[in-house]
Structure 1
Amino acid sequence: MDNENKIAVQTSKGFPLNVFFHGPQEDVKKHPVILTVHDIGSNHTSFHPFIYHSSMQEVRKRASFIEVDILGQGENDPALPTQNYRFPSLQELGESLVSVLDAFNVHYVIGLGEGAGANILARFAMAYPVRCMGLCLIHCTSTTAGVMEYFKDKIISWKLDSGMNPTAEQYLIFHKFGSEIEAQDSKEGREELIQSYAEALKKRINPQNLRYFLESFLNRTDISTRLEKDLTVDCLLVTATKGSHLHTIHTMHSFMNKQKSSLLQINEVGDVINEAPEKLAEGFIFFLKGTGYIPALPMPHSQHGRASRISMVDADKPDMRRYSRDELNL
């Protein structure tokens, strides 16, 4: 990414995180900052198809991005130790993010996370609510791993001991893209996305390191009962109708404060970042305007020159009092 600077941050939890900063660094205390945390089987680059999409141009002009690589998940990262090594829990990873903000002298951020990264950001926001202006959580889960998920993930994590293998690869593809292989507009286009993702898994992420992160996600604690009381920031939950996590994010939303949360469901895709960046951008920009963090943002336009429309679940539309009539275009 243009003007991207890699910095190693030593966290208060005793482990380092590689962080990538891009955007204006002058007067960063007042400049809007978006903090991204990625899913299992990915790293900070997984957000680039969305952040660099034309629909996000106005956001890029106004905001800086701090992108976190979870420990050992970066491209070509060396293998983490195997003897007497303890990978941090999702709770520890979430609490460690405040060290990232402190390293850049940033007072508060908007969080953008996917999957495991979304869960980590939710924990960060509950631990440090004054440092977070809002969260956009894609395919997030707030519960512990179910019985089937536990055994499926456990088998895959065991197999990763000997390197990336077809079983682990297929599971991670399902985790990211959902069960349906055919795309809405072009089967070939989706197959290219999946093939590119599979090649990246084999070449860029150390399998042993991936196993550590997968097991940390597998052993996550339940935060559902804490959400209504402790998650006090504005939240936009995003899911895809063909995604593998559709039910989990609906479950999470059922525990949340409905005055603080909205649910955006994007139809006919499994991976919203790569398959529906325009719709995700519209929902995200609408959310940013509603929080007041970047209020002057114009809404993105479709290829036909008209503002595109997003579809929010009827019962989960944003609090009308936070938006003007002109801004609400559902």
Structure 2
Amino acid sequence: MAEIKERSCFIHVDVPGHEENSPDLPESYPFPSLQTLGEDLVTVLDFLRVRYAVGLGEGAGANVLARCGLAHPARLLGLVLVNCTASTSSVADAFRSRFSRWRGADISHSEEDFLIYHKFGHVSSLQEPLHYGYQQIPGEGERERTLSEYRSRLRGNLNPHNLKQYVRAFINRKDLVLRGCRPDLLLVTGTRSPYASVVEKMYRDLDKEKVTILKVDNAGDVLTEAPAKVAVSLLLFCQGQGLLTSLPPPGVERRMSRNISMEEYDTPNIRRLSLTPAPATAANTTP
């Protein structure tokens, strides 16, 4: 992602009350639905004076972003949706039964485990080493570190009172109809994600000229478990929108005849695109 980051501006958006160490939202505050969040997300672009963007959302955030793309298709060139859900699923039903017992000010162990399942997939696959035969899967230590950091955030930095309201909005979401969505879509999931089958069904129901799917084997949280594959797909997707075209395709080394700045390299070569014939030289001029 290094070269992509150098050429891009990432805008991270927190839903109300979900910035780190946020105070409790007032009881009188009606937490917005996912539809309202999606429709109002364009105000962030307006405030920052961003004319066009490519959206990247995960989980409930992907659902919100998809609704923004439907409501404001002229502002979003494309949408990268990680583990997006289009309708209420069995996962949400399971969440509802566990969430109904979540009444204290803190997140209990069972709710914490389910939030981890919601993000990473099967909890057991994160608590115990995974093996194919006798060979351990590479990156298991990194996976455990990521899981530990996520648990720490749940226990220390996120406001559980506000988090419950967001979860309730996610559970009570309305169906998301993406047929006819104007921005191009990249659907991303992993085989260990609880939403893998949901994402696959969404892909089957959509126009294949507008949607592409990336399904990563042996991954639940693809952003941390398979970042290289996601980065390559993100680059190709953006290049399909006419962005980041100066970056070489994966596996292709870029060669430049002289040292030029990044800004110069990204500037189109107008002379190369011109249809005007080159001027005649002494070598090819006839008397």
Q: Same fold (TM over 0.5)?
A: yes
Q: Give the Cα–Cα distance (whole angstroms) in 2 for the partners of residues 139 and 261 of structure 1.
A: 14
Q: Give the Cα–Cα distance (whole angstroms) in 1 for the partners of residues 216 and 112 of structure 2.
A: 25
Equivalent residue number for residue 270 of structure 2: none
Q: Give the Cα–Cα distance (whole angstroms) in 1 for the partners of residues 121 and 84 of structure 2.
A: 14
Given the alignment, which residue of 123, 131, 148 partners 1:195? 148
> Using a 3 Å threshold, how does the CA distance of structure 1 residues 159 and 58 change in structure 2: closer, same or farther?
same
Q: Secondary structure at 2:237's aligned position in 1?
A: helix
Equivalent residue number for residue 185 of structure 1: 138
Equivalent residue number for residue 73 of structure 1: 18
Shift of 1:205: 0.3
Q: Give the Cα–Cα distance (whole angstroms) in 2 for the partners of residues 299 and 208 of structure 1.
A: 45
Given the alignment, which residue of 113, 118, 125 partners 2:57? 113
Q: Give the Cα–Cα distance (whole angstroms) in 2 for the partners of residues 232 and 257 of structure 1.
A: 11
Unaligned stretches of 5+ in structure 2?
Answer: 131-136, 254-287
Given the alignment, which residue of 288, 297, 300 partners 2:238? 288
Mapped contact 1:157–1:211 kept (Cα < 8 A): no
Equivalent residue number for residue 299 of structure 1: 249
Aligned-residue RMSD, C-alpha: 2.0
Unaligned stretches of 5+ in structure 1?
Answer: 1-55, 306-330
Q: Give the Cα–Cα distance (whole angstroms) in 2 for the partners of residues 153 and 171 of structure 1.
A: 11
Shift of 1:296: 2.0
Does 1:63 pair with 2:14? no
Does 1:228 pair with 2:179? yes
Equivalent residue number for residue 238 of structure 1: 188
Q: Give the Cα–Cα distance (whole angstroms) in 1 for the partners of residues 169 and 101 of structure 2.
A: 13
* TM-score where L is the length of structure 1: 0.70
**Amino acid of the residue matched to residue 190 of structure 1?**
R
Which is worse superposed, 266-275 or 87-96?
Answer: 266-275
Mapped contact 1:145–1:219 kept (Cα < 8 A): no
Q: Give the Cα–Cα distance (whole angstroms) in 2 for the partners of residues 204 and 70 of structure 1.
A: 15
Equivalent residue number for residue 51 of structure 1: none
Divergent runs of 4+, >6 A:
none
Q: Give the Cα–Cα distance (whole angstroms) in 1 for the partners of residues 19 and 251 of structure 2.
A: 34
Equivalent residue number for residue 211 of structure 1: 164
Shift of 1:167: 1.0
Equivalent residue number for residue 264 of structure 1: 214
Shift of 1:157: 5.3
Q: Which of the pair has the greater relative contact order for Cα pairs under 8 Å at 6+ separation? A: 2
CA deviations 1:273-323 (Å, max 9, x no partner) are 111111110011011111113322223559xx9xxxxxxxxxxxxxxxxxx
Shift of 1:158: 4.2
CA deviations 1:61-100 (Å, max 9, x no partner) are 2111111011111110111123x43110000000111100
Paired residues, what number?
244
Q: Give the Cα–Cα distance (whole angstroms) in 1 for the partners of residues 239 and 183 of structure 2.
A: 14
Whose strand fraction is larger, Structure 1's or Structure 2's? 1
Shift of 1:193: 1.6
